[in-house]
């Protein structure tokens, strides 16, 4: 399939079935994140795969955006390993690396027949406490993953896109 068609079909799933994601698929999703490009190839990403029932309960206490899923990835980066000076700008440009990693993971999951949802609204302090995540790890998102339920469908705005000429220009 053409990549643009593939990417257009993928959508943020907000309703999951109770079917568990197979370990082989979880490992492929993690492998896709592992091959993602990062600044200077520092690979500062830190990914926590949340799959046990006990861990899923902890995730559900840290965000309401779980939509019945049973597989999650907490994605962040190690501040000690990230490259901070991007184009001579001071400050943490490192959030870009885990964003690229997460995008690779989302696309691999879709290719494997799974749905995903990027969640940026979570209780960071609770996640750190529940999963013993050290302070040098900057948390970026929770990636929800699983089999879409029969009721799942793209959001009404999914296909609403600005005209390309509104978002770019040739120089």
Instruction: Choose between 66 and 155: higher pLDDT.
Output: 66
The mean pLDDT value for 6-32 works out to 96
By the 8 A CB rule, do 158 and 11 touch? yes
Give the distance between the most distant pair of CA atoms in the chain.
Answer: 53
Edge to edge, the sheet with strand 45-50 lists 45-50, 71-78, 137-146, 115-119
Task: Please state which architecture CATH assigns to domain 3-167.
Answer: 3-Layer(aba) Sandwich (3.40)
pLDDT digits (tens, 9 = 90+) for 116-132: 999 999 999 999 999 99
Query: Between the CA of residue 71 and those of 77, 113, 120, what are the distances in Å?
Result: 20, 14, 16
Q: What are phi and psi of 77, to 5 degrees?
A: -145, 155
Close Cβ partners of 41 (under 8 Å, ≥ 6 residues apart): none
Asked if 140 and 95 count as a contact pair (C-beta separation under 8 A), the reply is yes
Per-residue HEC secondary structure of 6-33 comes to HHHHCCECCCECCCCCCHHHHHHHHHHH
Instruction: Give this prediction's pTM.
Output: 0.92
Give me the mean pLDDT over the 83-110 stretch: 83
For residue 171, name the pLDDT band (cuts at 50, 70, 90): very high
- Judging by DSSP bridges, how do beta strands 45-50 and 115-119 pair with one another? unpaired
Residue 92: per-residue pLDDT: 61
List the chain domain ranges: 3-167
Question: What is the tens place of the pLDDT at every residue in 75-96?
Answer: 999 988 888 766 666 566 678 9
């Amino acid at each position: 399939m053409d990549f643009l068609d593939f990417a257009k079909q993928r959508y943020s799933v907000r309703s999951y079935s109770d079917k568990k994601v197979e370990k082989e698929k979880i490992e492929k999703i993690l492998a896709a994140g592992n091959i993602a490009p990062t600044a200077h190839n520092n690979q500062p990403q830190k990914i926590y795969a949340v799959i046990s029932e006990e861990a899923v309960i902890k995730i559900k206490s840290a965000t309401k955006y779980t939509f019945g899923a049973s597989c999650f990835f907490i994605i962040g980066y190690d501040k000690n390993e990230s490259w901070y000076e991007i184009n001579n700008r001071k400050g943490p440009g490192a959030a870009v690396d885990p964003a690229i990693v997460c995008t690779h993971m989302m696309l691999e999951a879709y290719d494997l027949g799974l749905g995903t949802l990027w969640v940026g609204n979570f209780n960071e302090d609770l996640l750190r406490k529940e999963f013993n995540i050290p302070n040098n790890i900057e948390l970026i998102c929770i990636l929800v993953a699983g089999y879409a339920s029969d009721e799942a469908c793209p959001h009404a705005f999914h296909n609403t896109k600005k005209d390309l000429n509104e978002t770019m220009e040739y120089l």
